[in-house]
Amino acid sequence: MNQKKQKAIRLLLSYIVILLMIIIILYPIFWIVGSSFNPGNSLSGSSIIPENATIKHYQELFNPKESDYLLWYWNTLKICIITMVLSVLLVSLTAYSFSRYRFIGRKNGLMTFLILQMIPNFAALIAIFVLASLTKLLDTHLGLILLYSGGAIPMNTYLMKGYLDTIPRDLDESARMDGAGHLRIFFQIIMPLSKPIIAVVALFTFIVPFADFILARILLRSEEKFTLAVGLYQMVAKQFGNEFTLFAAGAVLIAVPISILFLLLQRYFVTGLTAGGIKG
């Protein structure tokens, strides 16, 4: 078998694998979208292209008299936006410190971050609940925001530090010779050059509150303070709850703000991920 045939076979196998992965990833998405237009309440008879498609479920979600979905959506968006801004600021300052300064405990601090990242959130649920209760942050959005922001620091610090290490230190030294202080160098030189990795961290931290159920379920008690994950769960978990197609419609709408943010930041996204992995 000559090299051309071998190359063609390898290329064909690669395309087959890619096609299978695309089907595995996209089929559940198309199925849940199709289910959201299903006129019934059950998912058992749902299909990608439903018969007698209807937007009744979406209308019900947007009707405050029938559902608290809009309130849950607002709660989640508020938590996501504040978490994103606070996380980007904390991660940027932490990564800048580890990237640019040499201090006692620097290596141990980085190692601690790595170890903390290996511990799942649910392993500390009891401690989180007790701490939130003692600090009167139970059943508050502030408690969730602090948890999400703090949890974003370890992994994202590693990611951003790798990117900041690629920015020449000569820029810092030139700015110091011109009389610039640490904060001025950080905000006026480093941050403008770090837009790609900031976009990556912003997107990652924005997604977390939308996707998280465990922490929100543990901390939030009042229905008017629920996030989307908790609210949608309550919709189908309550007694005689069978509104699965309504749940599907609510799940589909979760992707809207995430998709919009991704489209706004996509020009930075690939650059931020690849450059962030160059140096550790």
Top-tier CATH class for 65-276? mainly alpha
pLDDT digits (tens, 9 = 90+) for 28-62: 888 888 888 887 766 665 567 777 778 888 888 88
End-to-end CA distance of the chain: 43
For residue 193, give the H/E element and its range. helix 191-193
Helix segments in 37-139, DSSP class H? 56-61, 69-100, 106-118, 125-134
Q: Are 212 and 229 in contact (CB under 8 A)?
A: yes
* DSSP string of 133-181, one letter each residue: HHTT-TT-HHHHHHHHHHHHHHHHHHHHHHHHTTS-THHHHHHHHTT--
Place of tokens 């508050």: 140
pLDDT digits (tens, 9 = 90+) for 104-142: 888 888 888 878 777 777 778 888 889 899 999 999 999
pTM score above 0.95: no
CB within 8 Å of 244: residues ≥ 6 apart: 35, 41, 42, 43, 236
Place of tokens 């550790």: 280
The mean pLDDT value for 75-98 works out to 93
d(CA 178, CA 176): 5
Place of tokens 């979600």: 61
- Which of 21-30, 47-56, 78-87, 265-274 shows the lowest per-residue confidence on average (mean pLDDT)? 265-274
d(CA 47, CA 102): 58
The tokens for 210 are 């939308």
Query: Binning pLDDT at 50, 70 and 90, where does residue 280 land?
Result: very low
Q: Find, among 219, 221, 251, the residue nearest to 233 by Cα.
A: 251
In the chain, domain spans: 3-54, 65-276
144, pLDDT greater than 80: yes
